[in-house]
Amino acid sequence: MKKVKKVEMAKKRERKLSCRRRILLATWLVGVAAVLARAYQLQVLEGDEWRAVALKQHITSNEVPGARGSIVDRDGVSLAMTRERVKVSIAPGELADRDEAIRTLQATLDLSGRDARRLTDPDRRWTVARGRYSPAVREALAGVRGVYLERELERFYPYGALARGVLGTVLDDTGLGGIEQRYEEVLRGMPGREVAAQDHQGREITGEVVRMAEPVAGGTVRLTLDMDLQEIAHQALTEALEKTGARGGDLLVTDPSTGELLALVSVMDGQPAALSAINAPYEPGSTLKPFTVAGLLSRGLATLEDSVVTAEGTWTVAGRTVSDVHVSPDMTMGDALRVSSNVGVSKAAQAFSAGQQYENLRDFGFGVETGVELPGEVGGTLLRPDRWSKQSPVSLAIGYEIGVTPLQMALAYGALANGGVLMQPRLVSEVSDAGGAVLERQRPKVVRRVITEAVARELSTVLEGVVEDGTATAARLETFRVAGKTGTSRVNTGGGYVAGRYYASFVGFFPVDDPQLVVFVKLDSPEGTYYGGTTAAPVTRAMMEGALAARQTTLDRSALVRSLRRPARMPPLGVPNRPKSTPVRFANLASPTGTRPDHGPAELELSARRAMSGSVAGQAPSEGRVSVPNVAGLSARTAVRRLHALGFRVRWEGIGAVMGTMPVAGSRLLPGDTIAVRAGSLIP
């Protein structure tokens, strides 16, 4: 009986073990099946997806920015460019030999021992070197373990703040203001793409980079600006502001025959990047009077010989009294313009109908935008006749109740200088892509003929009289005939006229018989004497003298020689012949030492004559060579000024303090030759 029980118990245990084995086997089979199913899912069904994830973990795709294009002046001098810089970062924990890394960083990045040790401090996980470096550091640091190099593109303006208002700036790779904004689509580069291998911590593996698509650089915008004239204009206006205490001002130089802007400088509240020349209208005052007279002459409503009764120099009309500074019982209309008689010009303007007066000013370009290639231009203010008051015809005749921009005024005088033809302004001459293919080429464009050539000649004769013996004698040149007009007007801030504040202005062109330059100057609220003939006209003279003395300008030297005054009217060359009150001049115009002698107009015009004949001051015309000055250690602007003053062209190789030139100082070159200026941090 006991034996039977034992057998039965053994069978039970065997059945239990068998059941357990079956369950375990089934569990294993289910597990294996699940693993195989999952493996099939991952490797077959989802294989491509997971392979992509794995690849993404070890390979990163980066956008490679394309270099922004360049902005150059009319002669190809770079005004804005993009340079490549390198950001240097260090992972101290990855350095194989800290001491060797310190020596390499000191030698390559020109660091002090203290800075190099700080960057390689083993207690820090990651450090970044201050500043950005030339791509030349790649060769020395690319193979150093623990040192990481990152390429960056930086916008660089070789001339600093000079012409910055025209150029604009770049923020977050986007142009803001000026040409940078206007030609954003042309200047912006097209990005490329590269693929790089990275480790398990997501850091790029040095040398494991493949460029998939090359970046494309932006195009080039060539301006009509002449940087020689721009530099001269900036210096002349800056010194005038310092001398007169004015709050700001504008100086423009244009070519009347083409409408090209050769120089444009605006300073407002000490900021040289202003663009008040196109976006800050003002009431011009007497500088508008020539256009009133031009309209009367061209419509046959008056002649320059017509007599105008000015009585006691005052005239009350519609409750407003107009008065003169120079009182004469009566005068011709030509004399009224020459001596800037408010009474004479406003009385003569009564011959206009309201429509004729409005149309005349509109034809000269007032009240509408000029179309210059800069964002932010305004058209000024010229109300339609149905909005005029009874005083408006008188006010408009002498430059009030109208808002004009300096650019509009310069172009309108350009029409007088150009035989009565108004030109559209041109700031951009050519646009090309990165390969040099021309995308756009601007040609001179006529807006309209405003007056006949005969009327333009008559007005030029009167405006020459303004400079010769009228209100603008401070703008007179001894060698060349100049025509122009002064203006002094009250400042209106929108809420009325401000007591004691005036705009002083002068617009002139020369030579009278074949005008090559129009120069506009306006000073905002000069202190003390505020008349345009006293404050603004001398600046125009300084600008013209500087243009004559500069060896490389847009001036037609042969035409200038033909325009010289007749010998009977010309003082002996080399002998100063000027009043005791010397007009505004600017320092360092033509001295390689930086301390220019106080030359008067006669000496400057002698220099201009020598320049036109191909000689250099102090040398025989047959020699013609000039010594390259030593400009090492100078700032970029000072070095450029000295080299330009001697007639050399400049090509930049770097930024910061000047290290030297190529050819070296002391070399004798011909004016017009190009000198490479090497700065402290070279641009590769």
Percent of the chain's residues with pLDDT above 70: 82
What Å distances lie between residue 139 and 94, 167, 207, 380, CA to CA?
A: 19, 34, 12, 57
Does residue 417 surpass a pLDDT of 90? yes
pLDDT at 570: 35
CA 461, distance to chain mean position in Å, is 35
State the pLDDT at residue 258.
Answer: 96
Q: How sure is the predictor about 54, in pLDDT bands with cuts at 50, 70 and 90?
A: low
Q: What is the pLDDT of residue 615?
A: 38
Share of the chain above pLDDT 90, in %: 42
Class of domain 621-684 as given by CATH: alpha beta
Query: For residue 448, what is the enclosing H or E element?
Result: strand 446-449
Q: Please determine, for residue 311, whether its predicted confidence score (pLDDT) is greater than 60.
A: yes
- 21 contact partners, CB below 8 Å, separation of at least 6: none
Tokens 């977050």 label which residue? 172
The model's pLDDT over 503-560, given as tens digits with 9 standing for 90+, comes to: 999 999 999 999 999 999 999 999 988 888 889 999 999 899 888 877 666 788 778 8
Q: pLDDT digits over 286-299, tens only?
A: 999 999 999 999 99
DSSP 510-579: ESTTS--EEEEEEEES-SS---HHHHTHHHHHHHHHHHHH-SSSS--HHHHHHTBPPGGGSPPTTS----
pLDDT score of 585 more than 70: no
Q: Are 400 and 389 in contact (CB under 8 A)?
A: no
Going by the DSSP 8-state scheme, the letter that residue 476 receives in this structure is -
Per the CB < 8 A criterion, the answer to whether 383 and 257 are in contact is no
pLDDT 10s digits, 179-204: 999 999 999 988 877 776 666 555 55
Token reading at 524: 């905002």
CB-based contact 159:636 (threshold 8 Å): yes
Per-residue model confidence as pLDDT tens digits over 135-182 = 888 777 877 888 888 888 889 998 888 899 999 999 888 999 999 999
62-to-28, 332, 409 alpha-carbon distances in Å: 47, 77, 51
Q: Which residue is associated with the tokens 């600006």?
A: 225
Q: Which CATH architecture has domain 227-272+284-301+352-429+444-613?
A: 3-Layer(aba) Sandwich (3.40)
**Greater model confidence, 23 or 81:** 81
DSSP state string for 238-275? HHHHHHH--SEEEEEEE-TTT-BEEEEEEEETTBTT--
pLDDT in tens, 616-661: 333 333 356 888 888 887 766 677 767 766 767 777 666 556 788 8
Model pTM?
0.75
Please tell me the predicted confidence (pLDDT) of residue 204.
55
Question: Could you tell me which residue, 616 or 46, shows the higher pLDDT?
Answer: 46
- SS3 annotation, 376-434: CCCCCECCCHHHCCCCHHHHHHCCCCCEECHHHHHHHHHHHHCCCEEECCECEEEEECC
Kindly tell me if the per-residue pLDDT of 11 is higher than 80: no
Average pLDDT, the chain: 82
CB 642 within 8 A of CB 586: no
pLDDT for residue 131: 81
- DSSP-derived 3-state class of residue 126: coil
Question: Are the C-beta atoms of 166 and 178 separated by less than 8 Å?
Answer: yes
Say if residue 89's pLDDT is above 70: yes
Whether residue 679 is predicted with pLDDT greater than 80 in this model: the reply is no
Tell me the C-alpha distance between 613 and 609, whole Å. 6
Give 355's pLDDT tier (boundaries 50, 70, 90).
very high
Q: Which helix (H) or strand (E) holds 441?
A: strand 438-441
What per-residue confidence (pLDDT) applies to 599?
Answer: 37
Segment 490-508 shows an average pLDDT of 91
| Amino acid 637: pLDDT | 60
CATH code of the region 62-220: 3.90.1310.10
Q: What is the mean pLDDT of residues 79-108?
A: 85
Lowest mean pLDDT among 431-435, 471-475, 553-557, 588-592: 588-592
> What number is the average pLDDT over the span 376-395?
95
One-letter amino acid for residue 595 of the chain: T
Q: What would the pLDDT profile of 440-454 be if each residue is shown by its tens digit? A: 999 999 999 999 999
Choose between 571 and 386: higher pLDDT: 386
pLDDT at 349 > cutoff 50: yes
